[in-house]
Each structure stands twice: as structure tokens, then as C-alpha cells.
Amino acid sequence: MSSKALQLEQKAPLHECLISIGSNIEPERHFAQAFILLGSECELIAHSQAISTPPVGFLDQPDFLNAALLVRTPLDHATFRAYLKAVENRLGRVRGPNKSGPRTMDLDIVAWDSELLDPSYFTYDYVRRPVDEVLAASGRSLWRKKN
């Protein structure tokens, strides 16, 4: 990277992203790898403890490990979302016809710059519990855009 590009990147506004993370294929190994990747490529602010949860939707699969991470990034929302999908791919994610099937890694944006984007926060404990833990640990709160 050129010094001019590095200077531009350093001047980019930083965004905070709250991520829901889940895995049920070798979850301990994939969680460790995800933390290493995200921690080295983003600024890791806070994370929750991992919790074990039963699958939702397609039930004939192992339980999941779920957690939440709060990171800071200079990337814009769309670019960061694409980056998370690339991280899933790097960790061996195979996308098939069953969206609720087993996976090595699932990384979903729950909130961007404190704005709640994922309504599953209100529906699923496996999202809400880890997110609430990160919010408490980091002193952050969420807000919802008024429609």
C-alpha cells in the first residue's frame, strides 16, 4: 500500500460494528480462527462469552456456539458486510440450499454505529444475550431508526 493510500485510510471515519457470530461445525476451532482474523484485521473493542444454543429452523444438526463482537473499522457498511462474507468463506463456509443448515462460521451485522439493523435481536436469545453482554461490557447502547 502506498503511503498516500495509507494516509487516506488513516483519515477515513471509523465505524463501530456489532457482529453476531455462530458456528456448529468444529465451533471452538472456527471461533478461535474468527477471533484471530477479526482481531488482526479490525480493532476489537469487546466480545461476549460464547454460549451453546440449540439450532433453529433445521433441527437435525449439532448445537451452535454463539457470541457477539464489537469491532471498529474504516470500511463503509456495504464493504464491511462483504468483508464478513469473505471471512466466512476463508473459514470454510459452504452455502447450500438450506439457509438454516450447519456452518463453519456465520457473521451477521447486528448494529452499525449503534443503530440496530437486525430485528433478530428481539426474536432470538442466541443474538440478544451475547449482544447485551457486549453492550454492558463496552458501555454502549443501541438505537432504532424511526420509520
**Catalytic residue list:** 93, 103, 106, 108
Q: Which of 13, 15, 22, 16 is nearest to 135 (CA)?
A: 16
